[in-house]
Chains A and B, each alone.
Chain A
Amino acid sequence: MKLTKSALLGLLLTAFCSLAFIAVEDGFSPLKDVEKVKKNIADQISTTSSIHSDFLQEKHLSFLEQPIVSKGEFYFKKEKKLRWEYIDPFKYLIVLNGDKVIIKDEKKTNQFDVASNKIFKEVSEMLSRLLRGEILNDEKDYEQAYFEGTSEYLVRLSPKKEEVKEMIDVIELYFDKTNHSVVKVNIQEKSGDYTLITFENTVFNEAIADEKFVVQ
């Protein structure tokens, strides 16, 4: 089947209009001054010594009408201390402290060396780079696209590594336009299913005891 010139033009126009429609619908348009925003985000990260926030996680599966919602608390302390704790509807705790990962659920506590497991290593590196803002300069592993909405900047990261691409199609980071902190993370899969994490009640640079990153 051959496409005539007018059919091809029509097709391109339709595609263009669809893209424009999506951009308008999302409320985001391409960001003009990317370097300035990257610098502002980097500055915000460099002046952040700790973060404490509540989070709401929604897992959207195509065959479910309602997402699976879980809630918890998140603590971060420079350089490499992170506590990610689910409180409702189940108890589950992940602590990253230096090169150790501790995972605790209602039955067991396990400790691992980050280096001992490929997935831990990948996730730990990704989190560290994200929290240090380095991920925005990582063009080797992620293709980047920047957008601007009324109250947020959106950074779309498309992984290049095959092993990451298998699990993640796109990571969307939403930054607050006023203080340049991450307010939402959307991890999309190829299937269309996605995980949306929203941060609320975020407090920066409060004193967080080291004990928060120790699990008994």
Chain B
Amino acid sequence: MRRLLTKSLWFSSLLLLVLSCKTIEPKYRELARTFPQEYQRAVYKTGITFGKHYFTGLLVVKSMPAATHRVVFITEMGMKIFDVEVGKESFQTHYVLSYLDRKVLLNTLEKDFRLLFFSPSEKGRVKMGKQGELKKVVFRKGLTRYIYRVDSTASELKRKKFFMKNLRLGWEGEYQNTPQKMVFRHYGIKLLIELQQVL
């Protein structure tokens, strides 16, 4: 009986949290986007640490006319590893090296890259400080929360499923309207992606 009561309380709290979400004003929604809607190409020197393995390459991104973003990963010597196009609701694979053509990998890329170009949700809440300063924006999408914070130098977006943090995306600096440095840290799959703009 007590367990049932606890479960009901949990469920009610979650339901209350989900239902208490409001539509976030566009000016706050836009804050969580790493890239603006339009920009010229940007090239990032990229280091990927996956478990004990370390890979490097160049990530090329460019906004496309149909409100999508082209993302291409090549080795330093120019060999193409993948070439994808990310839209708010769409994800197109133009090319992926056959041994990396795995659904789980492409799903991770899709989710990660979409966070760079689109705000995670329209629903959630904005938390302001006592002085009227922005403390955080909490986006809600189903049972997943995305928490955006910014300080004087860097921005971060944390993704939490239930109460477990599973991704942190940090970015800072600006060059030609695009971030200079970005870091993706996945907690569940021990994946770290570090990107430094070079062009």
Residues in A lying within 8 Å of B, measured CB to CB = 57, 59, 61, 63-64, 66, 68, 70, 84, 86, 89-90, 92, 94, 103, 105-108, 110, 166-167, 187, 189, 191, 193, 195
Asked whether A166 lies within 8 Å of B98 as measured between CB atoms, the reply is yes
Query: A70 contacts which of B56, B76, B94 (Cβ < 8 Å)?
Result: B76
Asked whether A90 lies within 8 Å of B80 as measured between CB atoms, the reply is no
Known contacts being A61-B60, A105-B56, A108-B54, is A92 close to B94, with CB within 8 Å?
no
C-alpha spacing A66/B76, complex, angstroms? 17
Which B residues are in CB contact (< 8 Å) with A70?
76
Which A residues are in CB contact (< 8 Å) with B78?
57, 59, 187, 195
Asked whether B98 lies within 8 Å of A64 as measured between CB atoms, the reply is no
Residues in B lying within 8 Å of A, measured CB to CB = 41, 43, 45, 47, 54, 56, 58, 60, 62, 64, 70, 72, 74, 76-80, 83, 94-95, 97-98, 198-199
Which A residues are in CB contact (< 8 Å) with B98?
166
Known contacts being A57-B78, A86-B76, A187-B78, is A63 close to B199, with CB within 8 Å?
no
Asked whether B60 lies within 8 Å of A68 as measured between CB atoms, the reply is yes
Query: B58 contacts which of A68, A106, A166 (Cβ < 8 Å)?
Result: A68
Asked whether B43 lies within 8 Å of A68 as measured between CB atoms, the reply is yes
Query: A195 contacts which of B60, B64, B77 (Cβ < 8 Å)?
Result: B77
Nearest Cβ on chain B to A168's Cβ, whole angstroms: 8
Which A residues are in CB contact (< 8 Å) with B79?
167, 195
C-alpha spacing A147/B188, complex, angstroms? 54
Which of A57, A90, A189: most chain B Cβ within 10 A? Answer: A90
* Number of residue pairs A-B, CB distance < 8 angstroms: 55
C-alpha spacing A61/B76, complex, angstroms? 14
C-alpha spacing A85/B80, complex, angstroms? 19
Interchain Cβ contacts under 8 Å between A and B, 8 examples: A57-B78, A68-B58, A92-B76, A103-B56, A106-B45, A166-B98, A195-B77, A195-B78
Asked whether A167 lies within 8 Å of B58 as measured between CB atoms, the reply is no
Which A residues are in CB contact (< 8 Å) with B95?
191
C-alpha spacing A193/B41, complex, angstroms? 16
Asked whether A90 lies within 8 Å of B54 as measured between CB atoms, the reply is no
Nearest Cβ on chain B to A58's Cβ, whole angstroms: 9
Which A residues are in CB contact (< 8 Å) with B58?
68, 90
Which A residues are in CB contact (< 8 Å) with B47?
105, 107-108
Q: Write the chain A residue with the least CB distance to B78.
A: A195
Query: A90 contacts which of B60, B70, B83, B198 (Cβ < 8 Å)?
Result: B198
Known contacts being A89-B198, A167-B79, is A191 close to B43, with CB within 8 Å?
no
Which A residues are in CB contact (< 8 Å) with B83?
191
Q: Write the chain A residue with the least CB distance to B81.
A: A167
C-alpha spacing A31/B117, complex, angstroms? 51
Known contacts being A89-B198, A166-B97, is A64 close to B60, with CB within 8 Å?
yes
Nearest Cβ on chain B to A189's Cβ, whole angstroms: 6
